[in-house]
Amino acid sequence: MSGLPPKIVMATSNPGKIREIARLLDELGVEVVAQSEFGVDDADETGDTFAENSLIKAQHAATATGLPAIADDSGLAVDALGGAPGVYSARFSGPDADDRKNNEKLLVELEGVADRGAAFRCVATYVEPWDAEPLVAEGVWRGEILDAPRGDGGFGYDPLFLVPECRVSSAELSAEEKNARSHRGQALRTLVEMLKQRYT
């Protein structure tokens, strides 16, 4: 495709994210590489929003490598908690947070709460080291928080996130089903369409 960079850095070391964006960009003939292959460490996520953190991570990778970069930032926003844990999703239970502790804290916070509506949110950002306008795409996946974990797949809050139209948790979906519905899948597919528009 005319003008499209042949190589894009993904501002993550997560192999699942690398595979996901690589599949989406495959039709464009673009090579997707992890920032870790260039010895680039994770950026400090100092933003107050998913959009700010996504931009910080993308700019960090692009500046360090001299290549265009894609980053995403995502998390869970629970209605009854005023949008928490939000950007603090990964460290919701404190400095020693892990998936199990985060899920346990969420269940405690929602004990006795009837309104269990929630949404996974993701912002994906594409930046170029030559200061072109960033491309920004968002995905939102609405659901509800279960009373107890279900399923062995996924990660993070997936075992507690009920997908209403399927009546199963996100952790009970196959990887293909999850990518087709998820906040990250939505955001990345939109970003790919924006890349096509920019470079054609």
**From residue 132, how far is each of 31, 49, 198 by CA, in Å?**
20, 22, 11
* DSSP class of 87: G
- How many whole angstroms separate alpha carbon 141 and alpha carbon 184? 9
- How many whole angstroms separate alpha carbon 65 and alpha carbon 45? 19
Beta bridge partners of 34: 10
Q: Which residues are marked as active site?
A: 73
Q: How many residues does the chain have?
A: 200
- How many whole angstroms separate alpha carbon 162 and alpha carbon 3? 42
Residues 6+ apart with CB under 8 A from 129: 62, 63, 65, 66, 67, 68
Q: Where are the alpha helices (DSSP H) in 11-164?
A: 15-25, 50-65, 99-109
Beta bridge partners of 76: 120
Asked if residue 103 lies in contact with residue 124, where contact means CB atoms within 8 angstroms, the answer is no
